[in-house]
Amino acid sequence: MTPAGVRPASIHISSSQIDAVAAWDEIPLGANLIDAGSDVVMPGVIDTHVHVNEPGRTDWEGFFSATRAAAAGGVTTILDMPLNSIPATTSVDALQTKVSAAHDQCVVNVEYIGGVVPGNVRQLEPLADAGVRAFKCFLTPSGVDEFEHVTEKDLRLAFPVLRRLGLPLMVHAEDPREIREGPSGGSRSYADYLVSRPPSAERSAIALLVELMSEHPARVHVVHLSAAESLGAIREARVRGLPITVETCPHYLTFAAEEIPDGATEYKCAPPIRDVEERDALWAALLDGSIDSIASDHSPCPPSMKETGGDFFAAWGGIASLQLSLSAVWTGAHVRGGTIEQVAEWMCGATARLAGLADRKGRIATGYDADIVVWDPDLSFVVDPAKLLHRHRVTPYAGRTLYGVVRSTFVGGAQVFNSGLHSVNE
Ligand SMILES: [Zn+2]
The predicted structure's pLDDT at residue 221 = 98
d(CA 287, CA 248): 12
Strand, helix or coil at 326?
A: helix
d(CA 425, CA 307): 51
Residue 197 DSSP one-character state? S
Ligand 1 centroid from CA 378, angstroms = 30
The predicted structure's pLDDT at residue 307 = 85
Ligand 1 centroid from CA 114, angstroms = 13
Ligand 1 centroid from CA 66, angstroms = 15
Say if residue 374 is exposed, middle or buried (CB neighbours under 10 Å; 0-12, 13-18, 19+): buried
How many CB atoms sit inside 10 A of residue 148's CB? Answer: 20
The amino acid present at 296, given as its one-letter code, is S
Q: Which string of b and e fits 412-425 if b means at least 16 CB within 10 Å?
A: bbeebbbeebeeee
Provide the strand spans (E) within 292-369. Answer: 293-294
d(CA 371, CA 42): 9
Q: Which helix (H) or strand (E) holds 196?
A: helix 190-196
Residue 136 DSSP one-character state? E
Ligand 1 centroid from CA 297, angstroms = 5
pTM equals: 0.97
The predicted structure's pLDDT at residue 306 = 86
Ligand 1 centroid from CA 38, angstroms = 35
Counting as low any pLDDT under 50, the low residues of the chain are: none
Helix and strand totals (H; E) in the chain: 13, 16
Half-sphere exposure of 29 (CA within 13 A, CB side): 0
Ligand 1 centroid from CA 83, angstroms = 8
Structural contact between residues 101 and 54, judged by C-beta atoms closer than 8 angstroms:
yes
Ligand 1 centroid from CA 101, angstroms = 20
Q: Which helix (H) or strand (E) holds 159?
A: helix 152-165
The predicted structure's pLDDT at residue 425 = 55
The predicted structure's pLDDT at residue 308 = 83
